Amino acid sequence: MTQPCATTPVPHLPAMERGAMAIVCVCVVAAAVTACTRVEDKPLAADPKVRSDFIEAQRAKMSEESKGLLNRFLARVKLQEAAGGPAPTVSLSKALELQRAYDNDLAQTQRRYQDRIAAAKADLRADVREQSVVKEDPTKSAAGKALRFVVDITNTGKRVIDRVVLRIEIREAAGAYLAAMPLLELKGPLKPGEAGRTIQTLPLNPGYQASIIAGQPTQIIVVPVKIVYAEGEAIDADTELNSLRSLSRRKIE
C-alpha cells in the first residue's frame, strides 16, 4: 500500500504585497548597480575646481598605477585647456583607458626613434670643433655677434651616403637649452671612410643666448636624424620625432 505524502502548504501573499516586494527588490538591485558604477562612469566635470574635488575624493580608492595614469592624464588636460582647447568630459575609467593607450603609443614611438638614431650614429660620426663667438651683421643679430663652429662628418658605415640631415642643439654646460638648428641638410656623396665638413654660424640674440655672448662654456650636440643612402634606402628618425610631436598635441575628447 502507498500512503499519500504529507505536503507543507505554501503561503501565498496577496497581490499588493507581492508587488510591493518586487518594487523593493528592484530598488535594491538598482541601488547596488548604481553604487558600483557611479564613480567610474561619472563624466569628469568641465569646471577645473569641481573636477579636482571629485578626483581628490577618489584617489584614496585607486591603485598606485591608476594614480600615475590619472596624474599624467590631468597634466595633458591642463595643457589642452591652457592652449584654449575644451575640457574632456570622459568618465574616470575612460580617462585611465585613454592614458594607458597614450603611454603605450608614446613608449613605442620613443623606442623606434632611439633605435633609428642608434642606427644612424653607427653609420655616421659627427664631431664639432673650432667653436667661437664672432662678429655678425647687426641686421641679423641685435648683439652683433654669432656663434661659429665647424662640424666634421665621417661615414663609418659600409654604404655610400647620398644625403644626411643633422639636428644641432646648443646648450649650456649644465644642459639648459639655448638654441637649435633642427634640420641641417648636407649632400654627398660620402663613401665609406670618407669625411666632410660644414661651417655654421648662428646669429645670437642677447635675450636668449646671453651666456654664449658672455663667453660662458657651451656644448654643441650634433645628431644625425636622417641618412639617405646612394641606393635609395634611408634611416629616418625625423619621422618618429614628428610622430612624438603629434602625440604631444593629440586632442583628448
CATH number at residue 172: 2.60.40
Q: In 10 A of CB 62, how many CB atoms?
A: 16
Q: Which residue has the higher pLDDT, 189 or 91?
A: 189
Looking at the structure, tell me whether residues 128 and 243 fall in a common domain: yes
Write out the residue range of the structural domain in which residue 177 sits.
124-248
* Model confidence at 40: pLDDT above 80: no
Answer whether residue 180 is part of any domain. yes
Looking at the structure, tell me whether residues 145 and 240 fall in a common domain: yes
* Model confidence at 69: pLDDT above 50: yes
Looking at the structure, tell me whether residues 80 and 186 fall in a common domain: no
High-pLDDT (> 70) share of the chain, %: 84
What pTM does this model have? 0.71
Structural contact between residues 170 and 178, judged by C-beta atoms closer than 8 angstroms: yes
pLDDT, residue 1, reads 45
CA 119 to chain CA mean position, Å = 22
Does residue 196 sit in helix, strand or coil? strand
Residue 19 per-residue DSSP state? H
pLDDT, residue 27, reads 44
- Residue at which a domain ends, from 80, 95, 118: 118
If one counts the domains in the chain, the total is 2
Half-sphere exposure of 143 (CA within 13 A, CB side): 19
* Model confidence at 29: pLDDT above 50: no
What is the grid cell recorded at 10? 505554501
